[in-house]
Amino acid sequence: MKIIVVGCGKIGMTLIENLVSEGHDVVAIDNEPTVLAEVTNVYDVISACGNGTDGDLLMEADVKSTDLFIAVTGSDELNMLSCFIAKRMGAKHTVARIRNPEHNDGSLDFLRQELELSLVVNPERLVAQELYNMLKLPSAVRVETFSGRGLEMVELKLKTDSPLDGMKLMDLRKKYSREFLICMVQREDSVFIPDGAFELKSGDKIGIIATPSEILKLLKDLGILHKQARNVMILGASNTAYYLSKMLLSGGNSVKIVDKNEARCRAFSEGLPEAVIIHGDGAQQELLLEEGISDVDAFVSLTGMDEQNILISYFAQSRTVPKVITKVNRGEFSVLAEQLGLDSIVSPRQTVANVIVRYARALENSLDSSVETLYKLAGGSAEALEFTVHADAPLCNIPLKDLQLKPNTLIAGITRGHENLLPSGNDAIRAGDKVLILTSGSRVRNLSDILGNKQ
C-alpha cells in the first residue's frame, strides 16, 4: 500500500520503521529538514519537507492515490486538520493521533465522524490501559487480551528458583491440571514456538495463553500469584498518568502522583481530586522514601526521560516494591533496563505502531479472514494475531492435525461464540471463529499465510 506519515518524531519514526518492514511504500512528511535527512538515511522512504496541511505539498506527495494517511505530529489540531484535508484530496483512509484529554473525554466520537477519520490513536490512553492490565495481574511481566477478554496471554519471567526450571512442556501439562498453553519462549536473543519436548530454563520469558480464570489458578499453583496492586505510586504527571489514575481510582485503588512541575500538579489536583498529588522532584530518593515508596504495592515511572525512569525504577525495586513498571521508548534502553532486572517495561511508540500496523494489515485483508488483534512480542521477533474466519477460508473444517503449518507457527486458541478453546489436533476451524495465531520469523497478513507450501 501507499502510505503517507506526517510527523517524524519518536512515534512517527517507529511507525515508519514498522511500515517499511511490512513492505509498504512510505512517504514521510516533516517540517524539519534534519529529521527528514535522518529518516531517509535509515529507511527506504520518500520524504517531503513542509507542513502536513499544505495542499500543494500533499498534492506533490500524490495524496489522491494514497491508501492510508497518518498524522502523528505533536499537535492534535494539526493532525486533525491534515487528515481532513488529505481526505478531501482523495486519501482513502486517515489516522490521527489525538492526545489531549479534553478531546478524548467527550468529543472524540463527534470529531471522528465530522472529520471522517478512519482511526483515532491516543498513545497515552493505550499505554494506560496496558499499565492497568499489568497492575491487575502483578505476577505477569505483560498482559495481552484477545476475543473480548475471553483469552489472555501473560508473559512471565522464570526466576532462579522457578518450579518450571528444567521441566518439559509435556510434563508441565501433566503436573498442573489447568487449561493453558505455553505458546512462546524467549531465551536471551532467541525466540521459540515450543513443542511438547521443549525444556524450560530459569531466565526464560514465557508466554501463556488461557482464560483469565485459568491463568489465576495456574499462577496460584505455581506459587507466584501476587495480590492486585491497590496502593500505587506514579512518578510523572503526564497524560498517561492521568488516564491510568482515572482507571485505578474508578476501581477503588489509592493513587499518589509525584511531579516537580507545579502547574501540572495543580491541574492534576483539580482533575483528580481523589488522588494524592505531591509537588517535588521524584528523582530525589529522600522524597520518595518520605512519601512511602517502601510501602506501596506498585511503582510506575512515567517521566519523559528514559534514563530517569530506569534509575528510579531500579531504586524502587531495591526497596522491594512488589511491582515496578518502567516506561522506556528507546530500544537500546529497554535492553539496559532488562539487564538491571526491570522486567515490566512499556513502550508508547511500539504500542501505537502495533495498533496502526494492525489497521494497515486489516486494509489488506483477503476474502478468507480479517485481522482483529496484533501484538509484537519479544522485541518484535514474534507476533500474536487474532483473525475472524470467513466462509471462504481454506482451513475451515479440516482437523488441525491434517494442516501443514509453516515452521514456528502455532494455532494457539479458538473462540467460538462464548466458548474458548485451546485446540487439540482433532479440533477444526469453522467459519465465524476467532483464531489466535503465534508466529516467529514470518509475516502473516491473513489466515491462509500460516499454511506451508504444500497445503
Residue 169: count other Cβ atoms within 10 Å of its Cβ. Answer: 18
Tens digit of each residue's pLDDT, the chain (455 residues): 999 999 999 899 999 999 998 889 999 999 999 999 999 999 989 999 999 999 999 999 999 999 999 999 999 999 999 999 999 999 999 999 998 777 666 667 777 888 889 999 998 999 999 999 999 999 898 898 887 678 999 999 998 888 899 999 999 888 888 899 999 999 988 899 998 899 999 999 999 999 999 999 999 988 888 888 899 999 999 999 999 999 999 999 999 999 999 999 999 999 999 999 999 999 999 999 999 999 999 999 999 999 999 999 999 999 999 999 999 988 788 888 988 889 899 998 888 888 998 888 888 765 677 888 888 888 778 999 999 998 888 889 999 999 999 999 999 999 998 899 999 899 999 999 999 999 998 788 888 889 886 44
Give 180's Cβ-side CA count (13 Å radius).
27
Q: Tell me the pairing of strands 46-49 and 68-71.
A: unpaired
Task: Please name which of 242, 264, 238, 239 lies closest in space to residue 255, comparing C-alpha atoms.
Answer: 242
Distance CA 194, CA 199 (A): 9
Contact 393, 453 (CB under 8 A): no
Distance CA 284, CA 217 (A): 40
Distance CA 317, CA 298 (A): 10
List where CATH 3.40.50.720 sits in the chain.
2-121, 231-346
The architecture (CATH level 2) of 351-450 comes to: 2-Layer Sandwich (3.30)
Please give the grid coordinates belonging to residue 404. Answer: 501443514
Please give the grid coordinates belonging to residue 95. Answer: 489516522
Distance CA 104, CA 102 (A): 6
Ramachandran area for residue 453 (φ above 0: left; ψ -120 to 50: alpha; else beta): alpha
Buried b (16+ CB within 10 A) or exposed e, 336-367: ebbeeebbbbbbbbbbbbbbbbbbbbeeebee
Fold of 2-121: Rossmann fold (3.40.50)
The CA–CA distances, whole Å, from 262 to 148, 164, 213, 242, 266 equal 40, 48, 43, 15, 6
List where CATH 3.30.70.1450 sits in the chain.
351-450
Q: Does domain 231-346 have CATH number 3.40.50.720?
A: yes
User: What is residue 393's predicted lDDT score, i.e. its pLDDT?
Assistant: 84
Helices (H) and strands (E) in the chain, counts: 15, 22
Task: Please name which of 264, 266, 319 lies closest in space to residue 291, comparing C-alpha atoms.
Answer: 319
Burial of residue 417 (CB within 10 Å: 0-12, 13-18, 19+) is exposed
Distance CA 258, CA 236 (A): 6
